[in-house]
Structure 1
Amino acid sequence: MPSETSWRGFRSAQDWINLICGALLFISPWVMGFSGVTAPAWAAWVGGIVIAVMAIAALVQFAEWEEWVALVVGVLMIVAPWVLGFAAMTYALWAFVALGLIVALASVSEIWMIHNPAPAAR
């Protein structure tokens, strides 16, 4: 059975996933060619920074609220193409939906692990 240490190691893996997704979201306007379109570019830059900062904060000194913020931002990234009106830009749409979904799932799984700790090894 996994110990608390191994569960924390897995949780930090989720923080690394969020950090990578935040970085990918931040650079996506340049890589995917929509840096000249205001709404998706700024949403990617701001969302990427918030996700990355929350991941770094969780890696340095874990607190549950950081996961909740990352979850909310992940969900906001999923809906951003429709709310901000750039859903017709397929490449931006998929970048936001895919990365937002990964961030949201990683955050949910970490929150679940916090509230459902692994049983202690005997």
Structure 2
Amino acid sequence: MSDTSTTRAWTRWQDWAEVLFGVVAVLSPLWLTTTNTITWTMIVLGALIALDGLFSLAMPGVVLGEYVQIVLGVLMFISPWVMSFTDMKGAMWSAFIIGALTAIAGAVALPAANTAHQGMAGQH
């Protein structure tokens, strides 16, 4: 018997954390010193992270959402190098921390998503 907290929608803490990380990224240009590039990087990646978290919350059995979360976390983590803002320490560290936490939460959520997926596959 599976843990119902992993199979019920809107209950996984990992996905709620992902939504929070995405919202923080979207709002971070309000308190960080940024450029246009940094602002749009944080807004776009943050919005995608938050939307993926909402998708994973609504559909806990779709394992792909957790892999997307990990990829988005890695993209956020490497964004200071890719978008050339390693000289902006606040934005750089925010991207590192948000990216790492997003990827970790996705990796931690994978077993729960697999359990939910298997539980849903057994229901016909």
Match of 2:30 in 1: 30
Distance 1:76 1:65 in 2: 16
Match of 2:100 in 1: 101
Match of 1:14 in 2: 14
CA RMSD of aligned residues (A): 2.2
SS of the residue corresponding to residue 86 of structure 1 reads coil
Q: Deviations over 1:30-51 (max 9, x none)?
A: 12131xx122111100001100
Runs of 5+ in structure 2 lacking a partner?
117-124
With normalisation by structure 1, the TM-score equals 0.83
Aligned pair in 2 of structure 1 residues 50, 13: CA closer, same or farther (>3 Å)?
Answer: same
1:113, CA displacement in angstroms?
Answer: 4.0
Match of 1:120 in 2: none
Deviating above 2 A after TM superposition, structure 1's stretches of 4 or more consecutive aligned residues are: 6-9, 112-117
1:7, CA displacement in angstroms?
Answer: 4.4
**Larger deviation, residues 89-98 vs 58-67:** 58-67
With normalisation by structure 2, the TM-score equals 0.82
1:112, CA displacement in angstroms?
Answer: 3.8
Distance 1:114 1:15 in 2: 10
CA contact (8 A) 2:80 2:92 kept: yes
SS of the residue corresponding to residue 32 of structure 1 reads coil
2:53 is aligned with what amino acid? A
Q: Deviations over 1:49-71 (max 9, x none)?
A: 10000101111112111111111
Q: Deviations over 1:53-98 (max 9, x none)?
A: 0101111112111111111010011011011110010000010000
Percent of aligned pairs sharing the same letter:
28
Runs of 5+ in structure 1 lacking a partner?
118-122
Distance 2:53 2:31 in 1: 22
1:18 is aligned with what amino acid? E
Distance 1:41 1:14 in 2: 25
CA contact (8 A) 2:6 2:113 kept: no
Distance 1:115 1:15 in 2: 14
1:73 counterpart = 2:72? yes
**Larger deviation, residues 59-68 vs 46-55:** 59-68
Distance 1:3 1:28 in 2: 38
Kindly tell me the number of residue pairs found equivalent between the two proteins. 114
Distance 1:67 1:24 in 2: 19
